[in-house]
Homo-oligomer: A and B are copies of this chain.
Amino acid sequence: MKPAVIDNLQYVNWSETAFRQLRIGGVDAIHVTIAYHESFREAVLNVSRWNRWFEQYPDLIVRGTSGDCVRKAIETGRTAVFFGFQNPSPIEDDIGLIEVWHQLGIRFMQLTYNNQSLLATGCYEDDDTGLTRFGRQAVDEMNRVGLVIDMSHSGDRSTLEAIEHSSRPIAITHANPKWWHNALRNKSDEVLKALTGSGGMLGFSMYPHHLKDGTDCTLDSFCEMIAEAATRYGVENLGIGSDLCQDQPDSIVTWMRNGRWSKQMDYGEGSADQAGFPPQPDWFVDNRDMPNLSAGLLATGFSQTEVDAIMGENWLRFYDQSFGGAE
């Protein structure tokens, strides 16, 4: 079987066109965000919308719940779609909903989305108080059922405590190292060492605010950053989590940033004069450009085996280890 190509974070405005682009780009699996601020009941509607897409486009996409779903997708020429939340809002205040969501196919959940949550502290808060009482219980329950803890939008202390408290490796699905581009959402060397040192995975983001030189970031620069990260953290803990936000109206980034919690405009990583989604770098505009990444990594000096690992085989191994119940 060919090596798996997996992008472990996308938030595309999905359409038949976008699904066909996945196939053209040879993407075997994606992890898609299906909630930012939704309540339990609202997030169910997002699952239901995906169920309809699986029914409508059975030749292009298929529900993903385990590593074997990726293998089956490769065999049948389709893309396996895994669900995740960027916020724990869909579990509300009920630890029992963690298993219910796992039953509904959720495989990644961030403990926070920028702000303080019931579980931990987001990376935009002034003070990070680490995992809450509910947060520690939720991590245990996520470990038990096989729902991966994702700390992409969390503060450093919360992230370190999640790594420490979790009995299974966790993930930062979409961020880059601060030593390459010092953005609030990128991660410190200390956090990345703790993450990867415990078997956790880092997915490299191609969202312009996470890139050195933003939209003008070059493929070379991006791939050299990955080469340096491989030296520091080991190639086996690295993958792609592009954070591709394709074809979304700017009203969506406003929802992502402001939800229902703010009456003022919060610009997040943007600013008043750059309020919308920033343009993608020209070497990664949509899923058809996925082969550019493999080519760039090869050109940087990675072996084919290492490129395969970063482009998907590492995530596939992580899926195999992470999505089943702890026994």
Query: Which residues from chain A sit less than 8 Å from chain B, CB to CB?
Result: 40-41, 44-45, 47-49, 51-52, 55, 94, 96-97, 99-100, 103-105, 144
Contact = CB atoms under 8 A, between A and B. Distances in A.
Contacts of A144: 55
Main SS at interface, chain A = helix
Complex A-B, nearest 6 residue pairs according to Cβ-Cβ distance, in ascending order: A48-B96, A51-B99, A103-B104, A48-B100, A41-B41, A44-B100
A47 B96 CA distance: 9
Contacts of A94: 48
Contacts of A45: 96
Contact of A40 (B44, B47, B49, B51): B44
Contacts of A97: 44, 48
A209 to B, nearest CB: 34
A144 B100 CA distance: 22
A278 B166 CA distance: 51
Contacts of A100: 44, 47-48, 51, 104
A51 B104 contact: no
Contacts of A104: 100, 103-104
A55 B51 CA distance: 28
Nearest to A47: B100
A168 to B, nearest CB: 17
B52 A96 contact: yes
Contacts of A51: 96, 99-100
Contacts of A48: 94, 96-97, 99-100
A137 to B, nearest CB: 14
Given A47-B103, A103-B103, 13 more contacts: A40-B41, A40-B44, A41-B41, A44-B97, A45-B96, A48-B99, A49-B96, A51-B96, A51-B99, A51-B100, A100-B104, A103-B105, A104-B104
A81 to B, nearest CB: 14
A90 B15 CA distance: 29
A94 B103 CA distance: 20
A1 to B, nearest CB: 23
Contacts of A52: 96
A298 B40 CA distance: 51
**Most chain B C-beta atoms within 10 Å of own C-beta, residue among A100, A104, A144:** A100
A313 to B, nearest CB: 29
A51 B96 CA distance: 8
Nearest to A145: B51
Contacts of A99: 48, 51
A48 B55 CA distance: 27
A96 B104 CA distance: 13
